[in-house]
A = this chain, B = another copy of it.
Amino acid sequence: MASPEIEALSGALARLPGLGPRSARRAVLHLLKRRETSLATLLGALQAVNDRLSTCSICGNVDTSDPCAVCADPRRDARALCVVEEVADLWALERSRLFPGRFHVLGGRLSALEGVRPEDLAIDGLIRRVANGGVDEVVLAMNATLEGQTTAHYLAERLEQFPVRLTQLAHGLPVGGELDYLDEGTLAQALRARRPLA
């Protein structure tokens, strides 16, 4: 229908998560209509990221510098290490600006179904960072899924030989959560972990 170049762009966009063939075509039209603004901006941004992209050799974060901005920041507390499954999780925690320490990205979660074994994740690097000392607390910030929790338990076993405090994120009601609409699993977690009123 359109030229091969436009078709190729449409196909490349359609492969992004959240976009399908139809929305990719709409996005292409949007770009074509706004050549100087949208198209040039997106092109420049992609080019810049492509030129400078690297994976942090310390924590596994993706950034345009190695070590990444978090690892290179001297104000970050090196004694607290937060282990996450994916770079997306690191970014989510960074957006909240609540964790003052450093990170370690596993690059996935243990999964018998998908055949992901410990050696497929960045676990050796984590053990090495903890073994090198200087870390007081390791926060196992895995997802609250079966596989995430399996991974957290596995890591806890591997790390218990070191003199570090192992913690995990609290499970319970999300902010704004109404009991009536919550799943039973969350309710059970929240009840089990109930705390005395201050």
Contact = CB atoms under 8 A, between A and B. Distances in A.
B6 A63 contact: yes
A8 to B, nearest CB: 4
Interface stretch (A20-28, A112-120, A123-131, A159-167): A20-28
A53 interface: yes
Q: Which bracket fits the contact residues of A?
A: 35 or more
A65 B3 contact: yes
A9 B48 contact: yes
A8 B45 contact: yes
Interface string A52-91: 1100000000111100010000000000000000111001
Nearest to A88: B29
A191 interface: no
A158 interface: no
Contacts of A43: 43, 46-47, 50
B9 A63 contact: no
B17 A23 contact: yes
Contact of A45 (B5, B18, B40): B5
B46 A6 contact: no
Contacts of A13: 16, 42
Interface in A135-174: none
B49 A1 contact: no
A88 B25 contact: yes
15 contacts: A2-B69, A2-B94, A5-B45, A9-B46, A12-B41, A15-B41, A18-B18, A19-B19, A26-B88, A28-B49, A31-B46, A31-B49, A33-B87, A35-B53, A40-B50
Given A18-B18, A32-B62, 8 more contacts: A1-B91, A2-B63, A5-B49, A12-B46, A29-B86, A33-B87, A43-B43, A43-B50
